Structure 1
Amino acid sequence: MPDEDPLKIGAGPPKERADAARNRQKILDAAARLFERHGVAGVSMDQIAAEAGVGKGTLFRRFGDKSGLAVALLDDRERELQQGVLSGPAPLGPDAPAGARLVAFVEAYADFLEANLDLVHLSETASPGARYRVGAYQFWHRHVTILLAKARPDLDADYLAHAILAPLAADLRKALNHQAERAKAGAVTLALLTLSGVTTGP
């Protein structure tokens, strides 16, 4: 089974002129401040442009819409979790058994989702199927697939990786409005059942 290293979450922002890079960072910083202060739903693109001191046209050209801003803001935060997966300490990092790593990842991603729920929800629901097209989901899915294949080679790891990630969808978390700890515990239980359950009927 291939290692996770070749797959990265996105390629990062393209190299650009210094003034363009400064404008991009000003916009992201302004959006983060406003989202923190008023919530994602309570902030308009006009407000973000004004806070950043850029024209609205510049904002739309760079990010398209508010979901594009959400994806950009999440990028650095997702990379931190990715680095924990690729090179961090056990049990999230590589120096732990596959099953323990899988449970640790589910716990870590549940915490990440809670900390960034509105941004993740906006990025995942911008259009039908948006969740499955972003690089972050593809990385998480591959990581879970690799761990499952190592821990339970008798299972259809590719399919079951989607099943393990399904409860960690932001729209489900918001729609059911479960308490954070209940949602996390349920996702971990599903992972543990997948790792330990039988695959034949009674």
Structure 2
Amino acid sequence: MNDIQLTNTRTERRDAAANRQRILNAALKLFDQHGVEQVSMNQIATEAKIGPGTLYRRYKNKSELCLDLIKDHLDLLFDDLEAYLADNESLPPSERLRGLIALFLRFREKKAQLLAGVEEAGSSRPKNRGRGPVYEELHQLIVQLFDEMALAAPPAEPRANSVFRADMLLSALSSDSYLFQRDGRGYTPEQIWEQLCLTFFPQQLR
């Protein structure tokens, strides 16, 4: 009896793994053809040749699916960010933040559609705007750097709240804002980076 149960469990795991791969392959194909925003969950299920119920049992929404597609790249991104900060501890916090923003913008350029998909579910609910898993980790790193800048500032100088500054910077780095500046306003990624630095910590650039 136990042997039968173990065999059934292994078969279910193989089936689940196969379904996951079919879903991811189908999503990538459709996203490449039509863009993340234009593809529905039902289209992905049809392309993967599975029922919608099977798809929704694994992914509640398209945001979760995009996060699964991009998570390995995100792990590498945060490894790179943490390594960069550790390797440049001797630099002023403003310089480290400039480097962190530059690294993230390069990543955003490479993974723009999937990042937009990850943000999609949160952006439809105002309470959670900008509070996705990508930005939670970025927020912690940015707050630490803003805190360091505040400690290095002259005592008489008014100090901005680091959490608020990080929230505002992350709003500017979100897909909607970034793509509007790039595609709507016509700024290059380098110009966007420069303007973000000038906007959020100009006193450190004098």
TM-score normalized by structure 1? 0.74
Q: Could you tell me which of 48, 51, 60 is aligned with 1:52? A: 48
> Distance between the aligned counterparts of 1:100 and 1:82, measured in 2?
18
Offset from partner CA, 1:40-70 (integer Å, 9 cap, x none): 2332323322332322211111112223322
User: Number of residues paired by the alignment?
Assistant: 178
RMSD across aligned positions (CA): 2.6
Task: Decide which moves more: 46-55 or 94-103.
Answer: 46-55
Q: Does the Cα contact within 8 Å between 1:107 and 1:188 map onto a contact in 2?
A: no
The letter of the residue matching 1:162 is D
| Cα offsets for 1:170-190 (capped at 9, x unmatched) | 112344523362x54234433
By relative contact order (CA 8 Å, sep 6+), the higher-ranking structure is 1
User: Is the Cα–Cα contact under 8 Å of residues 115 and 175 in structure 2 kept in the other structure?
Assistant: yes
| Cα 1:55–1:111 shift into 2, 3 Å | same
Distance 1:188 1:78 in 2: 24
Give the AA of the match of 1:120: L
Indicate if the aligned counterparts of 1:27 and 1:48 stay in contact, CA closer than 8 A: yes
Structure 1 residue runs without a partner (length 5+): 1-15
Distance 1:131 1:123 in 2: 12
* Match of residue 186 from structure 2: 179
Q: What displacement does 1:94 show? A: 1.4
Once the two structures are superposed, what CA deviation does each residue of 1:157-181 show, in whole Å capped at 9, x if it has no partner? Answer: 2221122222111112344523362
CA change 1:109–1:179 in 2 (3 A) is farther
Alpha-carbon distance change, 78 to 184 in structure 1, aligned in 2, over 3 angstroms: farther
Alignment match, 2:106: 111
Q: State the partner residue of 2:86.
A: 94
> Partner of 1:64: helix, strand, or coil?
coil
SS, match of residue 179 in structure 1: coil
Deviation at 1:74, TM superposition (A): 2.8
**Structure 1 stretches of at least 4 aligned residues deviating more than 6 Å after TM superposition:** none
**Matched-pair contact (CA < 8 Å) for 1:67–1:123:** yes
Gaps of 5+ in 2: 1-11, 154-158
Distance in 1 between residues matched to 2:60 and 2:167, nearest whole Å: 29
Give the letter aligned to residue 105 of structure 1.
L
Moved more, 55-64 or 146-155: 146-155
Could you tell me which residue of structure 2 aligns to residue 69 of structure 1?
65
Matched with 2:147 is 149
SS at 2:177 equivalent: helix
Whether the 8 Å CA contact 1:106–1:187 is kept in 2: the answer is: yes
What TM-score, normalized to structure 2?
A: 0.72
- Percent identity reads 32
Residue 36 of structure 1: which of 19, 23, 32 is its match? Answer: 32
